[in-house]
Amino acid sequence: MATEVLIAHPRAETGKGAARKLRAAKQVPGVVYGHKREPQSLALDARDLQKMLDRVSADTTVFELRIDGGTARTLIRDIQRHPFKREILHIDFQELVAGELVTVDIPLVLVGTPMGVRLSGGMLDQVLRTISVEVDPGNIPNHIDVDVTNLDLHESIHVRDLKLPVGVEVLENEGETICVVAPPRAEVEVAPAAAEGEEAAAEPEVIRAKKEEEDAEAPKK
């Protein structure tokens, strides 16, 4: 579990007008909330926030918000961005409470080169890239490794096959496919090509048969 420190300042003014003023001053409006505290409006330095988000995972990092001398351990729950700029328009934090489980999405990292890729030229296709889990905030893993070394052609790994850290409970369907080794593309395309060839070969026979029927029906001179 990664932990980072962010400086935040409480703000009294809320609403669209106040948010526009903050952004003009290179600040990001935000809010921190939790079931044991009233939602509190915040302002954060836009440059510092963006630099931090460029180097850490927003989904699996615990952020210690320093607010007027106090500290709140939080997770980022929502980041609103400008439609086509990198600008962060608003950010939501959820305060963590000791002993209270949280739901987070953890990245799945494929480790190794499958046997079906090495020996048979297959292609590794990752279907599921993150997995939703319930976990204590102090045990949030940065990612979960998935060993694919022994996968052969047409073989796959499912959620039920994962080796999870202690205290991590998966919320996904256990039958969900994480990755599969598909056969080489050329092998898949052979069958359609052969079928087209057979149709082309059959066509002249149909035309010949039709011509013979027409000749037989034509009056003899």
Kindly report the pTM of this predicted structure. Answer: 0.73
Q: What is the pLDDT of residue 179?
A: 98
Distance CA 38, CA 47 (A): 27
> HSE-up of 135 (CA within 13 Å, CB side)?
25
Distance CA 211, CA 206 (A): 9
Q: What is the chain's alpha carbon radius of gyration, rounded to the nearest angstrom?
A: 30
- Which amino acid, one-letter code, is at 2? A
Residues whose CB is less than 8 angstroms from the CB of residue 4 and which lie 6 or more positions away in sequence, other chains included: 52, 56, 61, 62, 63, 64
- DSSP-derived 3-state class of residue 121: coil
For residue 204, is pLDDT > 90? no
Distance CA 56, CA 4 (A): 9
Q: Is the dihedral of CA 14, 26, 7, 58 positive or negative?
A: positive
14-28, 34-48, 80-94, 182-196: segment of lowest average pLDDT = 182-196
Over residues 112-128, mean pLDDT: 96
Q: What is the pLDDT of residue 135?
A: 93
- DSSP-derived 3-state class of residue 107: strand
Structural domains of the chain, ranges and CATH numbers in brackets = 2-97 (2.40.240.10), 99-221 (2.170.120.20)
46-92 residue pLDDT tens? 999 999 999 998 988 999 999 988 899 999 999 999 998 889 999 99
Over residues 89-110, mean pLDDT: 93
Q: What is the pLDDT of residue 211?
A: 52
- DSSP-derived 3-state class of residue 62: strand
Q: Are the CB atoms for 48 and 59 separated by under 8 Å?
A: no
> HSE-up of 35 (CA within 13 Å, CB side)?
5
